[in-house]
Amino acid sequence: MPPTPITLTSFGYLHQPTDADGHPAPPTADRIEDVRERLRDPAARDILDLDGRDPRVQAVVLATPGAPELLDNLTAYALIPAGPRRIAIGCAGGKDRVCALVELLAQRLLEHRVPVTVEHLHAHLPRVLKAGG
């Protein structure tokens, strides 16, 4: 029987519905990684109109301090036997950082023959032009 795929989800906190306390509620997952404070926004001029599915955005995100270590950590976590079924990664808008991280993580897991399902909840939305993330 083939292994159950791990679902990798990218999302933007500013697009999520809020909970009873008015805080954005992340998608349901075994692990939720919030990179708003952890990784800077890759707002380089030459990639502003692209999302994290583009290899140019992925290269910029991967060059961000802390990103390679985070990707290594997420890969190790996903490879734990009987490990997670869902990993969600969120930032402010869900267009650049997290979309790229999900794509890069999916590539790594596929190299390890781990089936993945990728969903980008907010990559299609316009860039968020709000401070704080």
Return mean pLDDT, the chain. Answer: 89
C-alpha distances (whole Å) from 94 to each of 1, 4, 9, 76 are: 34, 25, 10, 23
CA distance 63 to 81: 29
Q: For position 16, what pLDDT does the model report?
A: 92
pLDDT tens digits, one per residue of 62-99: 999 999 999 999 999 999 988 899 999 999 999 889 99
pLDDT value of position 79: 94
Residue 10 forms beta bridges with which residues?
89, 120
Please say if the pLDDT value at position 131 is more than 90: no
pTM for this prediction: 0.90
Three-state DSSP class for residue 119? strand
* CA distance linking residue 83 with residue 9, whole number of Å: 16
Q: For 108, how many CA atoms within 13 A lie in the half-sphere containing its CB?
A: 18
